[in-house]
Amino acid sequence: MSRSLPPSWFSSSAVECAPRLLGKTLRYKDCSGIITEVEAYTDDDASHGRTYTPRSRLMHETYGHWYVYFTYGMHYCVNVTAGTNVGAILIRAVEPVDGIELMQERRHQNNLYALTTGPAKLCQAFGISLKENGMPLGNDFIIEDAPTLRKEAIAQGPRIGIRRATELPWRFWIKDSPFVSKN
DNA sequence: TACTGGATTCACT
DNA sequence: GTGAATCCAGTAA
């Protein structure tokens, strides 16, 4: 049985940790998927972390904790807090592995490529909501190291895409994966 | 207490 | 490409 990465794995900055998350497995209860797309937020203008508020407190005071927030009146997004200063990594997409039927049921969607290819889609598929906010890594909610085959494939590179436009967060994704968001 | 706008998604044109 | 859905956190007063 594999173990979760420890919270200390996330003590480096969000920008450093984010690309290293690609290819690892996100697991929550009965569902799991290989992380294909992430976004790193620190204290820049686009980040909740630019101010210290009750919501952003986790970004300032923890690393290796789940930060879940509600947006647009209907969607949840899931992050892992990172860095000893302020930061979080938004998990934007995964490749579904376990619990696919359950995800399809929750999403009312059978198309595998539309199941978890977006931050809000992923939360809906995995059944993640505000009640998971603030949990430390471990127990039900874990990130496992990459399967060996994935690790080798990623090491062969260049497979990781990076985008950092002005005033936008750092985005990292696995280039040849069909399981990434469209925007 | 009262706005304002959002780390999105989906249907529709 | 455009707009609606929908409600809460943050801000200003």
DSSP A13-69: -HHHHHHHHTT-EEEETTEEEEEEEEEEE-SSTTSGGGS--TTTHHHHH-SSBEEEE
User: What is residue A158's predicted lDDT score, i.e. its pLDDT?
Assistant: 46
User: What is residue A183's predicted lDDT score, i.e. its pLDDT?
Assistant: 76
Q: CA(A156)–C1'(B8) in Å?
A: 33
User: What is residue A146's predicted lDDT score, i.e. its pLDDT?
Assistant: 77
Say if residues A87 and A39 touch (Cβ distance below 8 Å): no
Phi/psi for A151 (5° steps) reads: -60, -45
Q: CA(A126)–C1'(B2) in Å?
A: 36
Residue A97's nearest CA partner among A181, A179, A7 is A179
Phi/psi for A119 (5° steps) reads: -60, -35
- Tokens 């690393």 identify what position? A63
Residue A88 burial (CB count, 10 A): 34
Nucleotide nearest to A48 (CA to C1'): B7
Q: How far apart are CA A98 and CA A29, in angstroms?
A: 10
Say if residues A97 and A170 touch (Cβ distance below 8 Å): no
Provide the residue-wise pLDDT of chain A in tens; the chain has 183 residues: 568 999 999 999 999 999 999 999 999 999 999 999 999 999 988 899 999 999 999 999 999 999 999 999 999 999 999 999 999 999 999 999 999 999 999 999 999 999 999 999 999 999 999 999 999 999 889 999 877 766 665 555 446 777 776 667 899 999 889 999 987
User: What is residue A139's predicted lDDT score, i.e. its pLDDT?
Assistant: 80
Total residues found in chain A within this entry: 183
Burial of A16 (0-12, 13-18, 19+ CB in 10 A): middle
User: What is residue A50's predicted lDDT score, i.e. its pLDDT?
Assistant: 95
Q: What pTM, to 2 d.p., does this model score? A: 0.93
Strand C within 7 A of A69 CB: yes
SS3 for A156? helix
Strand C within 7 A of A182 CB: no
Nucleotides of strand C lying closer than 7 angstroms to a protein CB:
5-11
Task: Say how many CA atoms lie within 13 Å of A19 toward its Cβ.
Answer: 17
Say if residues A42 and A106 touch (Cβ distance below 8 Å): no
Cβ-7 Å neighbors of strand B = A 39, 41, 46-49, 59, 67, 69, 71-75, 77, 79, 88, 90, 92, 107, 109, 114, 118-122, 181, 183
Say if residues A93 and A22 touch (Cβ distance below 8 Å): no
Strand C within 7 A of A56 CB: yes
